[in-house]
Structure 1
Amino acid sequence: MKKLLVISCLLIGGISAAQAQQTSPVWPGCEDSEDVSACFNKKLSQHVRENYEYPKNNAGEYVRGKVTVSFTVDEEGKVVINSVEGPKPEVNQAAREMLEKIPDMEPGTLEGEPDDRKFTIPFNF
């Protein structure tokens, strides 16, 4: 029984060591954060609050809606918008304009080399 436990531990340890070392993109201001992913999410939420401008319709009323955005932080740390999908074109355009203002950042890495990271996020505006 002890041998089985030792073999299991070695096998699990070997599998863990074989997994690729992967890091998240680093948003400006998150460089010294203990949890870069949590800081990224916090900074993204702050960016949305500060940069999304609600569109208005012809009657001057704010247009609200739900969109799903997909973007990639590429190997150079630049944001590339893949898609902005929702039923209201005005909201889609406002979301796209907000995404275009995301700052460049340190890219994510895979095995120590820069690597693309794709994000897909729903928003209710």
Structure 2
Amino acid sequence: MELKKNKKADLNRNRGLYFITGLVLVMALSYIALEWKTYDDPTKFDTGLHIQDELTEPVPIILPNTPPPPPPPIAPTVIEVTPDDDPVEETVIESSEPDPKEEILDVREIKTEEVEEDVPVSFIVVEDVPIFPGCEEATDKRGCFQTMMKKHIEKHFRYPEIEREMGIQGKVSVLFEIQKDGSIGNVRMRGPNENLENEAARIIYKLPKMTPGKQRGTPVRVPFAQPIVFRLQN
């Protein structure tokens, strides 16, 4: 017996239509899922700024052209009245007029003593230069003084051994004063080495006592500068 197919019972007849319909439904559901938006309920949250609650101090209100407060009233001064029966001490004002019994001294009668200032006078400008021993009869006492100073330095000169071995040399500037009594004082040195300075001071302190310099016939202190050169011979 031959089986016959029913055309209405053919499942493949509308397969394309079913496929397209399902595809459209899937795309529609995907689009709705992607575009779906939800919003929170505004009644559940407080959207106020509450600025007033954050202020810790009240803001003062300043009105323009406000006149300043009036000054406090000044208490009246209380004046105490002294009864006439109370004794009142009188203030005695002494007269500034001179007493005729006192002796009035004339300014011209007061003797003043002149105080001589102990100011040193330079060797160049002093009237009478200090006299080096041996220059008493010299005509040019300044030139004789410098010549004798040179001879004195050459006679007492001694090079320090340590500086000689180390090759230290240089010039020591010496400044000293010839005192009012002819002695040597206030010696100051400046040089490249302490031992060289000490040697220069030793030479100066060996200077003999001199005749002091004079200004207007009065002995004065006379400063004198003398360089001493320490140089090694090659």
| Fold conserved between structures, TM > 0.5 | yes
Q: Which has the larger radius of gyration?
A: 2
Work out which of the residue numbers 45, 48, 54 in structure 1 matches 2:159: 54
The CA distance in 2 between the partners of 1:73 and 1:48, in whole Å, is 17
Change beyond 3 A, Cα 1:101–1:21: closer
* Gapped regions of structure 2 (runs ≥ 5): 1-124
The CA distance in 2 between the partners of 1:44 and 1:77, in whole Å, is 15
Larger RCO, structure (CA 8 Å, separation 6 or more): 1
Match of 1:104 in 2: 209
Is the CA contact 2:163–2:169 (under 8 Å) kept in the aligned structure 1? no
1:60 Cα deviation from its structure 2 partner: 4.0
Match of 2:4 in 1: none
1:58 Cα deviation from its structure 2 partner: 7.4
1:94 Cα deviation from its structure 2 partner: 0.5
The CA distance in 2 between the partners of 1:115 and 1:42, in whole Å, is 22
Is the CA contact 1:54–1:64 (under 8 Å) kept in the aligned structure 2? no
User: CA RMSD, aligned part only?
Assistant: 2.0
Question: Which secondary structure does the structure 1 equivalent of 2:207 belong to?
Answer: coil
The CA distance in 2 between the partners of 1:21 and 1:74, in whole Å, is 13
One-letter amino acid of the structure 1 residue matched with residue 179 of structure 2: D
Is the CA contact 2:132–2:210 (under 8 Å) kept in the aligned structure 1? yes
Match of 2:183 in 1: 78
- Between Structure 1 and Structure 2, how many residues are aligned? 106
**Superposition pairs of residues 16-31 of structure 1, within 5 angstroms:** 22-31=127-136
The CA distance in 1 between the partners of 2:151 and 2:169, in whole Å, is 19
TM-score by length of 2: 0.42
Work out which of the residue numbers 102, 118, 124 in structure 1 matches 2:223: 118
Match of 2:88 in 1: none
One-letter amino acid of the structure 1 residue matched with residue 150 of structure 2: S
Percent identical: 28
Match of 1:33 in 2: 138
Judging by fraction of residues, say which structure has more helix: 1
The CA distance in 2 between the partners of 1:93 and 1:68, in whole Å, is 12
Work out which of the residue numbers 183, 199, 207 in structure 2 matches 1:94: 199
One-letter amino acid of the structure 2 residue matched with residue 54 of structure 1: Y
